[in-house]
């Protein structure tokens, strides 16, 4: 059996799609199909249930998947060891949570290209939990995600914090009266949030549930700038990282709402599934650029009117 076949199987299970797996592996869908068939022939079992959508592994496939992803992860370790003695070139696999991508990814990739022009960045974006699972699978050389400051990372992951981000509640300017605010006062206005899977939304929902309150969604959509525009138009309340609010074209029509019983904050984590060898220099360039982007956002912080609460 071939490593390429095993990597194709892991990619298909992870992506639940032959098309997405082929994009991730930078090959064609027929090539991925052939690799899966080759692995099935070598093992003598059917690995995928082709009658389901999205694609799911069979019972035999589920049993073999865990071992296959270990093989893929360990092959990444070997590549890292080889890379330490080779020119800094080829692919650098990066996972970035969407919020960080919106504010810092363009500058980070531009800086990476300037310092290491022969590297080819392969970037995937997604929710923090999704990226964390993929990092554990060895899908990335490095991943940048937003997670709690007390987040625990299981071996073989290595992680370091690049700084903290304040997450704020925002409302249409002038929509709320200046008085004491708690979640029980705010939830009736409804929310404009990311779809289910977003860590910010999950944290808000947990806090509301602990108070016996429902999460009232007025509108769910991807993209912080779109959400802020909708909040500015009075569609509902928003929950966004402060740096994205500060750089938004809608900032002048918004105000920060301080809730006495909800004060979320997350860390920017750089997570690596193994020692990347010489690629560490490229990972450090990426991390430094992201840190600078968020530091610049703090330095240029605009004066936003606030609807404050009294504890």
Angle between helices 29-43 and 3-15 (to 10 degrees): 110
Helix and strand numbers, DSSP H then E, in the chain: 12, 12
The answer to whether 267 touches 161, Cβ cutoff 8 Å, is yes
The answer to whether 130 touches 233, Cβ cutoff 8 Å, is no
Q: Which of 13, 6, 16, 67 is nearest to 40 (CA)?
A: 6
The answer to whether 304 touches 253, Cβ cutoff 8 Å, is no
Mean pLDDT, to the nearest integer, of 159-165?
A: 87
Output 104 or 276, whichever has higher pLDDT.
104
DSSP string, 60-111: HHHHHHHHHHHHHHHHHHHHHHHHTTS-S-EEEEEEEEHHHIIIIIHHHHHH
pLDDT at 166: 86
Q: Can you list the domains of the chain with their CATH numbers? A: 1-83 (1.10.10.10), 165-263 (3.40.190.10)
Give dist(CA 275, CA 288) in Å, integer.
18
Compute how many other C-beta atoms are within 10 angstroms of the C-beta atom of residue 218: 15
| The two three-digit tokens of residue 65, written as one number | 């998947």
Instruction: Report percent pLDDT > 90 for the chain.
Output: 27
Over the stretch 107-144, which tens digit does the pLDDT of each residue have?
Answer: 999 999 999 898 889 898 888 888 888 888 778 889 99
The answer to whether 8 touches 25, Cβ cutoff 8 Å, is yes
The pTM of the full predicted model, rounded to 2 decimals, is 0.65
Over the stretch 201-229, which tens digit does the pLDDT of each residue have?
Answer: 888 998 999 999 999 999 999 888 999 99
Whether residue 78 is predicted with pLDDT greater than 70 in this model: the reply is no
pLDDT at 273: 78
Q: Which of 252, 244, 269 is nearest to 168 (CA)?
A: 244
The answer to which of 51-60, 65-74, 184-193, 194-203 has the lowest mean pLDDT is: 65-74
Phi, psi for residue 160 in degrees, rounded to 5: -145, 145
Maximum CA extent, the chain: 69
């Amino acid at each position: 059996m071939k490593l390429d076949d095993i990597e194709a199987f892991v990619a298909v299970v992870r992506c639940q799609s032959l098309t997405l797996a082929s994009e991730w592996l930078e090959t064609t869908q027929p090539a991925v199909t052939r690799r899966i068939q080759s692995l099935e022939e070598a093992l003598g079992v059917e690995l995928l249930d082709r009658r389901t959508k999205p694609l799911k592994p069979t019972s035999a496939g589920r049993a073999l998947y865990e071992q296959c992803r270990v093989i893929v992860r360990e092959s990444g370790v070997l590549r890292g060891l080889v890379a330490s003695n080779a020119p800094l070139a080829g692919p650098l696999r990066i996972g970035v949570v969407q919020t960080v991508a919106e504010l810092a990814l363009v500058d980070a990739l531009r800086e990476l290209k300037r310092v290491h022009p022969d590297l080819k960045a392969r970037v995937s974006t997604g929710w923090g939990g999704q990226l964390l699972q993929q990092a554990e699978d060895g899908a990335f050389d490095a991943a940048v995600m937003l997670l709690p400051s007390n987040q625990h990372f299981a071996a073989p992951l290595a992680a370091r914090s690049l700084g903290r981000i304040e997450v704020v509640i925002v409302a249409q300017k002038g929509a709320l009266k200046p008085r004491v605010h708690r979640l029980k006062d705010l939830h009736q206005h409804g929310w404009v949030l990311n779809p289910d899977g977003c860590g910010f939304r999950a944290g808000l929902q947990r806090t509301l549930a602990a108070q016996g309150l429902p999460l009232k969604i007025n509108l769910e959509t991807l993209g912080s700038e779109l959400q802020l525009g909708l909040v500015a138009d009075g569609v509902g309340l928003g929950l966004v990282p402060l740096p994205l609010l500060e750089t938004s074209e809608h900032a002048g029509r918004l105000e920060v709402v301080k809730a006495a019983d909800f004060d979320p904050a997350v860390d920017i984590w750089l997570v690596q599934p193994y020692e990347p060898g010489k690629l560490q220099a490229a990972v450090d360039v990426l991390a430094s650029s992201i840190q600078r982007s968020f530091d610049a956002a703090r330095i240029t912080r605009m004066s936003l009117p606030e609807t404050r609460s009294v504890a």
